[in-house]
Amino acid sequence: MVLSLVRTHADALDGRAACPMCHTSAALTRSAVAAGADWRCVRCGQRWDGVRLAAVADYAAWVVEHNRT
């Protein structure tokens, strides 16, 4: 599950993870994050890991579902 979430928030061109808030590419690859690594965004300062990315993806799915009604 974490790997698919990392793909959701990743830059498809270079395979790096990206900050969900400001979309800045991280120094880590998607596979590193899926393996448990984390990082702090150089632009906005938010700290990200697979668990936080999962929470963002779950919330985004919830918003989509609740905006349909």
> What is the H or E stretch that residue 27 is in?
strand 25-29
Question: Any idea of the CA torsion for 37, 43, 47, 50, to the nearest 10 degrees?
Answer: -50
Overall average pLDDT of the 36-60 stretch: 92
- C-beta separation of 68 from 21 below 8 A: no
| pLDDT band at 69; cut points 50, 70, 90 | low
**Domain limits, the chain:** 2-67
pLDDT computed for residue 14 by the predictor: 64
Q: Cα separation of 41 and 34, whole Å?
A: 17
Express each pLDDT in 4-41 by its tens digit: 444 444 444 468 888 999 999 888 888 898 899 999 99
Closest by alpha carbon to 5, among 57, 43, 44? 57
